[in-house]
Chains A and B, each alone.
Chain A
């Protein structure tokens, strides 16, 4: 609120003006509503989904942040949480779920495997879901503890609250697949999928 509304003081009197720009007020109201009622679409494929469930359950309880209603239907969801590794066979599935979600929508990539492929640097696994859908927040960990996921959700809140309805550029790009059927140029996907850590010891042909 402090950022949006400023007070003006007239000499000798208590603050008696409230000034605000209408667009800031609108942004503040819209963003606060969006950030505080994110409906998650859980896409749980592996052990991260267990931590995700722990985060949803009573001890950590992400309902505190307005995520009370988990939308198991993409049409009623705001944030896609990919919890776990994504095999190539599921790539068209998560892409379709993402396409079916209405704007505005956000994506959290939960855990090492969803973010980078993790230890699964092999023929079956997508090396980071950002080669398939745009990602807003990456939560590291294998799997991340519930605190980690909550921190990621709060980061997403921060990101949402910094957005503006009045930006000239489309606020969030849809990022549809191009003529090749890819979200990014092939060279970029190859670069994102490069081996790292222990995987670099392993030759492609091995």
Chain B
């Protein structure tokens, strides 16, 4: 068992749930209200120094009664230690958890992916948009267990919606690295970027 678990219990008490060991890795469950504090503590406290967020993902189990989990794989590069932190979310309640982008910048796209695939919202995320599916995708969140494998719409409707999407609208100006060159762009391109041309983003996406 990773000694960080005992240190976490000493520092956060009841906010730390059960801890299990699996295949040599320690998994510790954290209350979602304290998630960001715990993460910041794990990164900044001498002796912990989990400075690298290896991966951030989510799991929904086939058992509908089990909560969804958001999984954070942490690594302390200097100490060579790993810790897996999980937050449980009740699927009947609000699927929302604090963003860890303020702690690790690298969480930005990882959280967007989890939002896209599971519909879990991250409070305080700077730019919570879909990242794999296009922004106007209206069928829902594909990795949820209630999502049919072939999608919700007919194939013809899927093709129609896909062809109606604007391939240039997948990127924000920042991602295209042309924000600084905005004034030098052709007028029509400036106008399109200003309007976004993203189409209508479906409600509740």
A, B bound? yes
- Alpha-carbon gap, A92 to B147, bound state (A): 24
Closest residue of chain B to A182 (Cβ to Cβ) is B160
A57 at interface by CB-CB < 8 Å: no
Closest residue of chain B to A89 (Cβ to Cβ) is B134
Interface SS of A by simple majority: loop
Asked whether, in the complex, the Cβ of A95 is within 8 Å of the Cβ of B163, the reply is yes
Interface centre among B150, B160, B167 (most CB of A within 10 A): B150
Query: Which B residues from 122 to 159 make CB contacts under 8 A with A?
Result: 133-134, 139, 142, 147-151, 154-159
Asked whether, in the complex, the Cβ of B133 is within 8 Å of the Cβ of A89, the reply is yes
B162 at interface by CB-CB < 8 Å: yes
Q: How far does the Cβ of A102 sit from chain B's closest Cβ, in whole Å?
A: 20
* B160 in complex: contacting residue of A89, A180, A202, CB < 8 Å: A180
A19 at interface by CB-CB < 8 Å: no
Asked whether, in the complex, the Cβ of A182 is within 8 Å of the Cβ of B149, the reply is no
B180 at interface by CB-CB < 8 Å: no
Interface centre among A123, A126, A202, A204 (most CB of B within 10 A): A123
Asked whether, in the complex, the Cβ of A177 is within 8 Å of the Cβ of B163, the reply is yes
B187 at interface by CB-CB < 8 Å: no
Interface locus among A10-18, A150-158, A164-172, A186-194: A186-194
Q: How far does the Cβ of A95 sit from chain B's closest Cβ, in whole Å?
A: 6
- Alpha-carbon gap, A4 to B167, bound state (A): 47
- Alpha-carbon gap, A187 to B149, bound state (A): 20
User: Which residues of B are found within 8 Å of A202, using beta-carbon distances?
Assistant: 149
Q: A92-B165, A190-B154 are in contact. Are A206 and B148 (CB under 8 A)?
A: yes
User: Which residues of A are found within 8 Å of B157, using beta-carbon distances?
Assistant: 186
Assign chain A's interface to a size class.
20 to 34
- Alpha-carbon gap, A205 to B149, bound state (A): 7
Q: A123-B151, A204-B150 are in contact. Are A131 and B159 (CB under 8 A)?
A: yes
B176 at interface by CB-CB < 8 Å: no
B172 at interface by CB-CB < 8 Å: no
Closest residue of chain B to A205 (Cβ to Cβ) is B148
Closest residue of chain B to A199 (Cβ to Cβ) is B150
A122 at interface by CB-CB < 8 Å: yes
B164 at interface by CB-CB < 8 Å: yes
Asked whether, in the complex, the Cβ of A123 is within 8 Å of the Cβ of B160, the reply is no
A63 at interface by CB-CB < 8 Å: no
User: Which residues of B are found within 8 Å of A121, using beta-carbon distances?
Assistant: 149-150
A196 at interface by CB-CB < 8 Å: no
Q: How far does the Cβ of A109 sit from chain B's closest Cβ, in whole Å?
A: 15
- Alpha-carbon gap, A108 to B202, bound state (A): 35
Asked whether, in the complex, the Cβ of A92 is within 8 Å of the Cβ of B162, the reply is yes
- Alpha-carbon gap, A9 to B148, bound state (A): 73
Asked whether, in the complex, the Cβ of B155 is within 8 Å of the Cβ of A131, the reply is yes
Closest residue of chain A to B133 (Cβ to Cβ) is A89
User: Which residues of A are found within 8 Å of B134, using beta-carbon distances?
Assistant: 89
Asked whether, in the complex, the Cβ of A189 is within 8 Å of the Cβ of B155, the reply is yes
- Alpha-carbon gap, A205 to B151, bound state (A): 8
10 A–B contacts from the bound complex (CB under 8 Å): A91-B159, A92-B163, A92-B165, A96-B167, A122-B150, A122-B151, A186-B154, A204-B148, A205-B148, A206-B148
Interface residues in chain B, defined as those with a beta carbon under 8 Å from any beta carbon in chain A: 133-134, 139, 142, 147-151, 154-167, 170
8 A-B pairs closest in CB distance:
A186-B156, A123-B151, A193-B155, A88-B162, A189-B156, A91-B162, A92-B167, A93-B167
